[in-house]
A = this chain, B = another copy of it.
Amino acid sequence: MDSKKTLALLQEVKNGTLSPEKAVLKLRTSPYEDLGYAKVDLHRELRQGVPEVIYGSGKTPEQIMGIASAMRKNGVGTILITRLSTEAAEIVEKAIPLDYDEVSRLGIAGRKAEITSSGIIVVASAGTSDLPVAEEAARTAEALGNKVTRLYDVGVAGLHRLLSKLDVILKARVIVAVAGMEGALASVIGGLADCPVIAVPTSIGYGANFGGVSALLSMLNSCASGVSVVNIDNGFGAGFLASRINHLGDKE
């Protein structure tokens, strides 16, 4: 809870318009709704300027619907639901209008986002198999009001594919580099670009990729500066962070 709100509250107490007991209660009753199985955070959009997100995995369709309904009831405009299975999407869709994408398993409920940043986010992926993660990043960024350019299947084994798109790389304000296997794409892009690069290791590969560990370590040890890393297969996190950075270029 930030200090401006605390100050306003205390001012009310001083003015006698709020009793100390009620003030304590108010400090307690923070803006979330308690559903028992979840405490829905209702002021995040206000506080952070972004829609609310529901992590779909490990929740029943019923729980997802309950959380989404509580949000909508409280005026949340756009709701992102990540890792939403096709089955769950079908159930949720009956209750809430939903824009669902099977590849990325991302569902977007509510009004469409408007473009709110002048910058461009480039989402680059090494191979065709990395698409689900890349699309999760791209669609998340779009849902948060960003222009996105997709650059798919530009892995380093055929370097000319990437080099032929060098101008796209150089015009980006943020780049999301998605790669499995040896994850070298992040380092190569990091060496070419002069903007922040968010690397997303994917679990694509087999054997000694250990479910994405090879790409993860590769990206963490990138010899190129300006590269940071999110969790394996975390397309949403990369898209979210890319949006946050992309909006900095317009903010101040």
Contact = CB atoms under 8 A, between A and B. Distances in A.
A207 B234 contact: yes
Given A48-B194, A118-B252, A164-B29, A221 B225 contact: no
Oligomeric state, in number of copies? 8
Given A157-B191, A159-B192, A221 B228 contact: no
B226 A187 contact: no
Interface stretch (A57-65, A69-77, A86-94, A108-116): A57-65
Interface in A6-42: 6-7, 10-11, 13-14, 16, 19-21, 23-24, 27-30, 32, 36-39, 41
A226 B244 contact: yes
A166 interface: yes
A214 interface: yes
A190 interface: yes
A227 B210 contact: no
Interface in A171-190: 173, 181-184, 187-188, 190
A173 B10 contact: no
B195 A244 contact: yes
Contact of A129 (B36, B58, B250): B58
Given A10-B24, A167-B3, A217-B182, A58 B204 contact: yes
Contact of A23 (B10, B32, B39, B225): B10
Contacts of A201: 207
Task: Give 7 closest A-B pairs by Cβ, nearest first.
Answer: A207-B232, A58-B129, A184-B184, A228-B228, A214-B217, A10-B20, A30-B160
